[in-house]
């Protein structure tokens, strides 16, 4: 079982594993991109979250400084 598979299964994993580190780096980048969208541009923020998460409820909301 890979370290990434362990992470996804909720088991102990090596945080420094390259695949795990890449997943973490992607999350950091996506959070920074989301936080860079104007808090007044609700449509852009909703579109970004919908693209990122795949499905995202119409009444859902994520505050700025999401990390």
pLDDT tens string 13-63:
999 999 999 999 999 999 999 999 998 998 999 899 889 888 877 787 788
User: Cβ atoms within 10 A of the Cβ of 45, count?
Assistant: 19
- Domain boundaries, position 14: 3-53
24: left (phi over 0), alpha (psi -120 to 50) or beta: alpha
pLDDT at position 58 is 77
Identify whether 43 is part of a domain. Answer: yes
Total-model pTM: 0.76
Structural domain includes residue 37: yes
- Between CA 24 and CA 44 the distance in angstroms is 24
What distance in Å separates the CA atoms of residue 49 and residue 52, rounded to the nearest whole number?
5
Overall domain count for the chain: 1
């Amino acid at each position: 079982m890979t370290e990434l598979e362990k992470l996804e299964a909720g088991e102990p994993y090596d945080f420094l594993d390259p695949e795990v580190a890449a997943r973490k780096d992607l999350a950091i980048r996506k959070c920074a991109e989301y936080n860079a969208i104007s808090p007044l541009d609700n449509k852009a923020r909703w579109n970004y979250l919908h693209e990122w998460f795949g499905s995202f409820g119409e009444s859902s909301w994520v505050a700025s400084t999401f990390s």
